[in-house]
Each structure stands twice: as C-alpha cells, then as structure tokens.
Amino acid sequence: MSAAAEDAVTEAPAAVEAVPKRAMTLGTGTSLVILAALLVTPMFVKNFVVFQMTMVMIYGIAVLALNILTGGSGQFSLGQSAFYALGAYTSAVLMENFNVNYALTLPIAGLVSFGAGYLFGKPALRLSGIYLALATFALAVAMPQLLKLHFLEHWTGGVQGLTVMKPDAPFGLPLGQDKWLYYFTLAISLAIYIGSVNLLRSRSGRAFMSIRDNEIAASAMGVDVAQYKTLAFGISAGITGIAGGLSAIVVAFVAPDSYTINLAIALFLGMVVGGVGWLPGSFVGAAFIIFVPNIAESISKGLSGAVFGVLLFLVIFLVPHGARQVAIVAQQMLGKLKKN
C-alpha cells in the first residue's frame, strides 16, 4: 500500500522530530576522556574487575543494538537473547568444531544473526507495538529449546553446552588473557559505537527515526517503511550476534541456560535505564544490569530479587529517562558553573 507512495517521491526528506545529533551522543571532549580512562584503568585493577568491565562492554553492545531498534526505529523486541545466543553459538561452534580463529568468528556470527533477524523481521513487520514485543518474546522463549535439539547436539553439545578455549594475546604482547580480551572487546565496542552513531546520522538512520516518530508520515514522504523496519531488525540482530560471539569467547562457555528470557529482559532493562535512544546510555545500562544485582545481593541474600526491584523502581521513578536525563542535568549544572 505504501509502495505507490514511495515510487512517487524520489527523495527522502529529513525525518520529523529527529533527536538532534548532539542529544544522541556525547561531546568529543567527554568521549575522549572516557576513552582514555577505559584504556588506562585495566593497568590498575584486578583481573576479575577487568573481566567485569569486559562483560559490561559486551552487554553494552547488545543494549546498543536494542537501542538502535527501539530508540532508532521505534520497534520493541524482547527477543534479543535469541540473537545473542545465535551469535554466541556460531562463534563457539566455529572455534571448537572447525578451528576457526576467534576474531574471524565474530563477523560470521554477526552475519548469521543479521540474516536471522532480517528473516524474522519480514513476517514480524505486520505486527507493531506490544504484538511485536510478544512475537519476539516467543523467539526468546523458544531459543534455549532449539539449542537443545537432538540433531544439533553433535555441534552444540546439547544441554551440556560447549567449552571454548580462551585465546592468548597475539604477537607475544605482554598481556594476560583477560587484559587482551578487554582491549579486543574495547576496540570492537568502539568500532560498533562509532558505526552506530554514523548509521543513525545517515540517511538510513533518519529513515528509521521517521518511522519511529510517525509511520504514516514517513511512508508519505517516501520512506520504504517495510524495507527499513526489517533492516533495523537485521542490523540490531547482527550487532547483538557480535556481542553474543564476544561473550562466548570471554566467558569461554556456552549453554542453552545462558540465554533464557531473563537475558532478553535484562537487555531491555539496560536500555530503559540507560535512556531510550541515547547510545552512550547503553553502556551505563549494561553496568546497571551487571552491578546492581550484586549490590542487591550484598544488601539481602534472601530478598535480592526484591531489593533489585526496589532499586529499579527508584531509578525509573526518579530518572524516568535514565542515564540520559542524569547526563543532561549534569551538563546544565556544568554550564551554570562556567557562567558564574
């Protein structure tokens, strides 16, 4: 139905009410300071903290992927854990059964997940809002079972999962496994982050945002809604797949139980806490889903779930726009200080 409209209009106009560029990212100065801090920190902390930071970045990439989908194109997904699992298993199976170099498995994991996401996006297109969320929810629920399938067991290790060899630093670099994987993950996170920022600033990104803001207006302006919606799904799935692949390498183990619906909900939660549509917030959200359960546990073991709920409620109640809101407030205060 929108095809005729798209044929008639030749040029895609700027999206309606697109979030201004500066509101989507951090300023160059701030970004460089954070990058420098990320580069130096591992030298001073224990290996397990380096491992935790690596996990934050990996979950951060996955939350970022969801952010592109939801914050960018306005589609909901509770099925990100399925693409994460797909990426993780692709990497693990390639490394263990086919002896592929771990770095090479990542683009393949990304491509496989992109394909799966794109194909899933096709039929899911007809759904929107909560219905789409439910369809993706079904995907997340089905994934652990699919991974247990008997005829795949030869490769996936079935219910027992698959142990992966952790790679050493290449070229004889004087880095432990943890530190090497940290910098490796940092490089990939950086590449994905810059790529995503540019994607959302590009013509395709504007098309995503126009769909998010008003689908009918977007199609009237010549945006191929169907095409861009599936594309957003595919890209989001692909990036999630890369995050999954990284997690398989860093954790050195994959099992169906690692990728349950809980993971999908955690990623969704990370996005909301970080601020929907604000890309740097993805990493703040990831830190939330990793560290806050630990805090909750230290408050009360028996009630850790309830304490986590209370903390989450406080965050949503006090800063409904998540880390983005905190960042804006901080920026304003800094501005005032400068003026004085």
Q: Give contact residues for another protein (rule: CB under 8 A).
A: 46-49, 51-52, 55, 141, 145, 148, 158-161, 163, 166, 247, 251-253, 255-258, 260, 262-263, 290, 293, 297, 301-302, 304-305, 308
Whole-number minimum distance, CB 15 to another protein, in Å?
37
β-sheet bridge partners, residue 253: 163
In the complex with another protein, the residue whose CB is nearer, 263 or 279, is 263
In the complex with another protein, the residue whose CB is nearer, 189 or 258, is 258
First CA to last CA distance, the chain: 57
In the complex with another protein, the residue whose CB is nearer, 3 or 306, is 306
Whole-number minimum distance, CB 79 to another protein, in Å?
15
Whole-number minimum distance, CB 138 to another protein, in Å?
12
Could you say which DSSP state residue 322 is in?
T
In the complex with another protein, the residue whose CB is nearer, 101 or 262, is 262
Residues with Cβ within 8 Å of 284's Cβ and at least 6 positions away in sequence, in order, are 273, 274, 275, 322, 323
Could you say which DSSP state residue 253 is in?
E
In the complex with another protein, the residue whose CB is nearer, 118 or 155, is 155
In the complex with another protein, the residue whose CB is nearer, 63 or 255, is 255
Nearest to 200 by CA among 32, 313, 5, 67: 67
Whole-number minimum distance, CB 144 to another protein, in Å?
9
SS3 148: coil
Whole-number minimum distance, CB 141 to another protein, in Å?
7
Whole-number minimum distance, CB 251 to another protein, in Å?
5
Helix axes 80-98, 261-274, angle to 10 degrees: 120
β-sheet bridge partners, residue 102: none
Nearest to 280 by CA among 317, 243, 328, 233: 328
